[in-house]
Amino acid sequence: MNADQMKQIAAEKAATYVEDGMMLGLGTGSTVFYLVEAVARRVQAEGLQLTAVATSSRTAKQASELGIKMIDLNDAPTLDLTIDGADEISADFQGIKGGGGALLLEKIVALNSRRNLWIVDESKIVPQLGAFPLPIEVIPFGLAKLTQRLEAEDLHPVLRRQANGELFLTHNKNYILDLHIGNIPHPHVLGEWLDHQTGVVEHGLFLDVAKTVVVGHPAGPEVLQAPR
């Protein structure tokens, strides 16, 4: 079984957590694509009345075309549940997100949700964060100076580019620096340090955000629940 099939297994299980009348947050990425399809099937089959906010125009377009009512976050009350993917999840339920470049919008939606549920294939579950490069969204002005500060801390920043060599731009026309750290033994310490670096718009450490993770395995979905 390949990774896409395991993503679909996780997404279809996560869709069962959606309830009639919910205000739903929809994330971004390949696993969320399967989630939106699964939720839309329930909307059609069961007549669920849902309203949703998306973290990318791609997700919003897909959901809207499949019959899910989409609104802007500014027009929504607190979200009941946000379901999103992740690039890495450690044993203590901390995460790295932003491989697709939507970390700022994803974090805004996540922090305006009562509950967050992450959906991943089994390869995303790791003992400790850091093998996946940590994305940070940064403003273009002063990029060289910020890069020097990050290099001085041995964070090994690499400016993200597209496959054609052009600079990767976020939804807000900012840049992404990917930090090739290798391991992050103290993510809260690093997150707080990054929060105080001028020029950093947001970082991809999602700490103490999700209490439930659905993991796709060849044998079926596994639900992991953080200790209360």
Residues that constitute the known binding site for substrate: 28-31, 84-87, 97-100, 124
Tell how far CA 219 is from the center of its chain.
25
Active site residue 202: no
Query: Would you say the C-alpha torsion 124, 96, 34, 138 has a positive or negative sign?
Result: negative
Q: What is the DSSP string of 111-148?
A: HTBS-EEEEEEGGGEESSS-SSPEEEEE-STTHHHHHH
Q: How far apart are CA 171 and CA 108, in angstroms?
A: 13
Tell how far CA 182 is from the center of its chain.
20
Which residue's structure tokens are 């026309």?
173
Q: Which of 88, 106, 137, 202 is catalytic?
A: 106
CB atoms within 10 A of CB 180: 13
Indicate which residues carry an active-site annotation: 106
